[in-house]
Each structure stands twice: as structure tokens, then as C-alpha cells.
Amino acid sequence: MFLRQITDSSLAQNAYLIGCQRTGEAIVIDPERDIDRYLEVAAQNDLKITAVAETHIHADYLSGARELMEHHGVVGYLSAEGGPDWQFEWAKDLPNARFLHDGDSFRVGNIELKALLTAGHTPEHMSFLVTDLGGGANEPMGLLSGDFLFVGDVGRPDLLESAAGQAGVMEPSARTLYASLRNTASLPEHLQILPAHGAGSACGKALGAVPVSVLGYERRFNGPFREALEGSEDGFVREILSGQPEPPLYFARMKRDNKKGPALLPDGKLPRPRRLAANELPALVGDYAILDLRNDRVAFMDRHLKGSLFAPLVGGKLPIVAGSYVDENASILLVVNDESEVDEAVRQLVRIGLDKVVAWIPSAEALSENSSLIVSTTRITTSELAGALEAHPDAAVLDVRGTVEYAASHVRGALHVPYTRLAARLAEVPKSQPLYVHCGSGLRASFAVPYLLSEGRNVVYVNGAFGDIPPNLLG
């Protein structure tokens, strides 16, 4: 048996390519939309992808299952569980779609996969037990656990409410997750846990940075999992629903599109944005969503194209910024350090359904001419905040950290809106009042400030550690 974890570090997402080396057949589980990566790995290992499977309807990226099924004719294995509102609608009339119920099994070559209903993160969620029949095994070696069980954490059950807007389902989902976790009691200790996400994903609150684990270890040392196995249902529900990070706005759109069907890429190809000349910028600024991929937030604040968003490619922030602030139908212009960044940026945007990436330009060229298009943003440090507020008593403070951080300590009287939710709550942000925007380190505020400026708000960027804010300002 061949098994390869293929990771997208920007979304902390794992897909899995599993192949039967005897027959040359392979399956990919939970692929992203740019499927050429999986096809390439398969070909390099003398395998052909003949099947694809999904653990659930994803919220954080667009699935590549439809691309593989419609452009490459592979067989798709999809959940039929969860009730009528949680079906893969796009696949219902495809002849190569196979719909699975709890306990159903199928084979790819001499590899057997058995579907287990592991609901809670979503109603239709399935995990897959993997058995290497061709290697002589009569027990499974691993569990493709999707967003059900992670290294050090379990899947969050609040997204249907907090991201997709389905009121009143958070607690029932948590109770369903509790039951699903307890239902793993009969599974063997040696099972490898092959999760769909790692540290950095917004699909949990404490995911480990170790790529895989084993079930026996997780039973002992995974806090939420242990709470489900040993604690009370009410205690588990309280713990799992507390402190979850605010999901980016685009999660709701991913749920919608993965259910109804992600748009197929034209001819199965990624967008190929054209290189822009500096003298073309005046005609585009104001009409395009401009994403500046530089990594230095101070350099961005000092000098950037009017209306551009700070969306560094390094560190996986591009999808979060673009997904939080860019309309899905917007035409996008990339300001890059150099041409080598274009392909990766396009991939990251396509994975969240931002397909209209039409042009790019090196930052050195974009900022060397057209001085009328170049602006700077007023900035201060957190240690200077008290003096700034004293000098401007009419000003207010906007805190864009998470809810847990704000509850622990905040500037007295500060407005609180997490940076990933600003677009949905923009009406709460004053239009004329001067506004000092801060976070915990300056990073999240550096994403929020350009967006607020593009929306006509009068803002000052506050850069630096929250701990440097004078104590007399804190409540």
C-alpha cells in the first residue's frame, strides 16, 4: 500500500493519496480544487487516481472532488448521511457517484475503505477505516478522520451556527459529537489517526502540529477526546463550545458551494493572470481588489497602492484576508515581490473560490511610478496609545482580537469586532470618528486597517504588543 499526506500549509489542510501498488489504482481523500498536485504525485509513483472520497462538506476550502469526477471520470464516494439538507447536491445525477451510509465498504485495488458515520462537526461527516488487504491485513491500519478527530483536538461543532448561520444547532451538534467520539470505543488502539487538518486551521481551537497520531495516544492525551470518553456530556458540551475562534466570513460560502457544487475550472486549468505594466495602474486602481503580498506590514503602511489590502503570502494569511474582505465576484490584482509568487497566490485564492485573478505586478514597479496612487497609513505603537487618545479625546478604539482575548482584558470602552468578521459588522464601525485599531501584536490590525480605509473609515494603525498598552487604559 502507498500512502502520502499532501499538505496545504496555508490552510493547514491535509489530503491523502492512498494507492494499491499491485493494481496501480489510487484514491485521494479530501482534495482541494487544484487537483494537478495529486495527479502529479500519483504519476510519480506509478499510480492512477481512479477514485475520490470526501469526509464531509467542507467549510474552509472548495473541494476538488467535482474536478476529478467530471474532468477525469474518477468514481466519487460521498456521504448519504445527515438528512436532506446535507447532501452533495451537485453529484446526485452523476453516474460515477457512489453514496455511502454508515458501515458501507468499498475497495480501490486491494485497499478496503469502510465508512463510519462520525457526525457532530457536520451532520453528514464520515471517517474511513483503511485496511491493506493486499498486504495480508485483516484489521484496519488507520482512520481517515477528516474534521472529526485531530491530533490533540476534535472537530468544532459550532460552525454550522457561527459560520453558516443556522441558529440553534450549536449545542445539539456538540451533543452529537460527544456520542460519535464515544462510539469509537471499539476501535483498536493501534489505529493511525490521519486528520484533515493540523495546527493553524480554524476548524478547531487547539490542533497539534504533529501531522499524525495513533488512537491510543489520543485517548490518553487529547483533552476534548478524553473528556468525551471519561467525562459528562454536559461538561464536554461546555468545554467544546467555549473559546472557539471566530471563523472567517468565507466559510459560509464554502459550505454553500461545496454542497451545490464548486464551479469547474475552465478546461480544468488554473487562472493565468497577465503581467501588468506600471502605466496601466491608473485605469485599474479603484475597480480591482488589490492584494499586496509583501510580508513587511510597516513597509506596507508606509507605502502602498490606494485601496490595497495587506495580505502576506508568507504564513498562510492570504486566504484569511482575501476570504474575509474580498467579494467572490471581484477582479483581483496581485502586488507581488516577484513572479515566483504568482502561481502559489493563484492556488491559494482558487481554493477559496476567488477565481478572477486577472493581473499581477511586482511591488517595486507598482510603487515606483504613479505617485498619485501611492498612499501611507498613519501608525503609532501600542505604548503611544494613551498619549494619542489624550490628544484626541473624540477618538475611539477598535479591538480586532478574538472574543476570548477581549474578555480577558481590553481597553476601557473599546469597540470589539474580530478582524475576520469586520465585513459582516461594518455598520457597527463609526464612519467619521477617528479610530485607533489594535490587536494582540499588530498583525491582525494590519489586515483590518487597510480594509477599513477602503471602506471610508478614519483609522490609525496601532502596531505592537497588547502588553505594551499602558495599564491605566485597561478595564
Backbone torsions φ then ψ of 229, nearest 5 degrees: -80, -35
* pLDDT at 390 (0 to 100): 96
Q: CA torsion, points 142, 144, 148, 153, in degrees to nearest 10? A: 60
In the block, residue with C-alpha cell 493547514: 12
Average pLDDT on 65-87 reads: 97
Backbone torsions φ then ψ of 172, nearest 5 degrees: -60, -35
Report d(CA 428, CA 426) in Å as an integer: 5
Average pLDDT on 33-58 reads: 98
* pLDDT at 291 (0 to 100): 98
* pLDDT at 160 (0 to 100): 86
Edge-to-edge order in the sheet of strand 213-214:
105-108, 111-117, 126-132, 142-146, 192-195, 213-214
- Would you state the cell numbers that stand for residue 96, as one nine-digit string? 460515477
Average pLDDT on 21-48 reads: 98
Average pLDDT on 146-164 reads: 93
Residues with Cβ < 8 Å from 298, sequence gap 6 or more?
A: 379, 463
β-bridge pairing 304-305 and 142-146: unpaired
What is the DSSP track for 79-133? E--S-GGGS-GGGTT-TTEEEE-TT-EEEETTEEEEEEE--SSSTT-EEEEEEEG
- Would you state the cell numbers that stand for residue 380, as one nine-digit string? 503609532
Contact 81, 116 (CB under 8 A): no
Average pLDDT on 417-422 reads: 97
In the block, residue with C-alpha cell 457536520: 122
Report d(CA 348, CA 16) in Å as an integer: 18
Residue ranges and CATH numbers for the domains of the chain are: 2-260 (3.60.15.10), 270-375 (3.40.250.10), 379-473 (3.40.250.10)
Report d(CA 55, CA 29) in Å as an integer: 7
| b/e code 227-263 from CB counts within 10 Å (16+ = b) | bbbeeeeeebbeebbeebbbbbbbbbbbbebbbebbe
Supply the DSSP symbol for 404: H
* pLDDT at 370 (0 to 100): 66
What is the DSSP track for 243-306? SPPPPPTHHHHHHHHHHH-PPPPGGG----PEEPPGGGGGGTBTTBEEEE--S-HHHHHHSEET
* pLDDT at 90 (0 to 100): 98
- Would you state the cell numbers that stand for residue 227, as one nine-digit string? 473528556
Give 435-460 pLDDT, tens digit per residue: 999 999 999 999 999 999 999 999 99
Average pLDDT on 237-257 reads: 94
* pLDDT at 117 (0 to 100): 98
Report d(CA 23, CA 108) in Å as an integer: 9
Average pLDDT on 327-331 reads: 96
Give 340-375 pLDDT, tens digit per residue: 999 999 999 999 999 999 999 999 999 986 678 999
- Return mean pLDDT, the chain: 96
Provide the 3-class DSSP secondary structure of residue 34.
Answer: coil
pLDDT category at 432 given cuts 50, 70, 90 is confident
Contact 218, 194 (CB under 8 A): no
